Amino acid sequence: MKFKSQVYTQVSGSIGGITYSHNQGGLYTRARSIPVNPGSTFQVAVRALVSSLTNYWVNTLTPAQRAAWDLYAANVLLPDPFGDPRLVSGLNMFSRTNVPLLQAAGTQVNVAPGVFDLGSFTPPTIAAPNAAADTVDVSFNNADPWATAVGGHMLIYLSRPQNPSINFFKGPYRFAGKVSGAVVPPTSPATITLPFPCVVGQRVFVKISFVQVDGRLSLPFRSFGTAV
């Protein structure tokens, strides 16, 4: 139910049995629903990584290492769903950095970055997915810092094929591949195999994150291509 408030300009979350949210039309409420615990193989694997990293944080990282992650988190704010900056914990930043790396068979980063930003990159270009080959080409700037040194990565996530009328896709995405940096930078474009087959006319949404050598994980770049 849409409503106007004399108190709130932005509100989200649940109170009792009512959930507050917003969309392009403004604030609205709906009955609170109890989420179903997802149990796909990939979702279970991600939860296992989070659990393992939490255990590593508590039992293996030194107090000095944890303090360094807390310092990094305090100086690098992440956007909330409204785009406003929010503070996360050092543990959350440690997990945010390492879950994608471990998912992509990279090396875990235990030392917090000493540079207080999320890194920078040139926005990649997404070609139209090839429905016959079930591939998509991703073009990138191989002079970017992540591409010119061992330990940097471009991590590519793809959606299930969507109806061409869909203009926004929140998720879930499936990890589809990575391009790793090297002394001799990788060649652009990279051809990535789609995790789900598509047909001509369907849209495939792409989410790409970049990892710097020191472990800084960028905010995601998002785009889509229409299969040909």
Burial label for 17, CB within 10 Å (0-12, 13-18, 19+), is exposed
Interatomic CA distance for residues 64 and 228, integer angstroms: 52
- Give the residue-averaged pLDDT of 192-210: 97
Q: What is the mean pLDDT of the chain?
A: 89
**pLDDT over 90 (residue 43):** no
| pLDDT of res. 1 | 56
1.20.58.390, 3.40.50.2300, 2.60.40.10, 2.40.360.20: CATH of 125-226: 2.60.40.10
**pLDDT over 80 (residue 38):** no
Cα-Cα-Cα-Cα dihedral sign, residues 126, 127, 131, 133: negative
The SS3 assignment for 198 reads coil
**pLDDT over 60 (residue 167):** yes
Give pLDDT tens digits for 45-101. 888 999 999 999 999 999 999 999 999 999 999 998 888 999 999 999 999 999 999
Does the pTM of the predicted model rise above 0.75? yes
What are the tokens at 186?
């990788």
| pLDDT of res. 45 | 81
- Give the residue-averaged pLDDT of 174-188: 96
Under 8 Å between Cβ of 140 and 122: yes
Q: Which DSSP category does 147 fall into?
A: G
Residues of the chain with pLDDT > 90, as a percent, come to 72
| pLDDT of res. 14 | 66
Give pLDDT tens digits for 5-26. 555 566 666 666 677 666 555 6
**pLDDT over 90 (residue 40):** no
- Domain ranges across the chain: 1-35, 41-103, 125-226
- Report cis status (omega within 30 of 0) of the bond before 189: yes
Burial label for 65, CB within 10 Å (0-12, 13-18, 19+), is middle
Q: If we measure between CA atoms, which residue out of 97, 77, 96 comes closest to residue 86?
A: 77
The SS3 assignment for 130 reads strand
Residues of the chain with pLDDT > 70, as a percent, come to 84
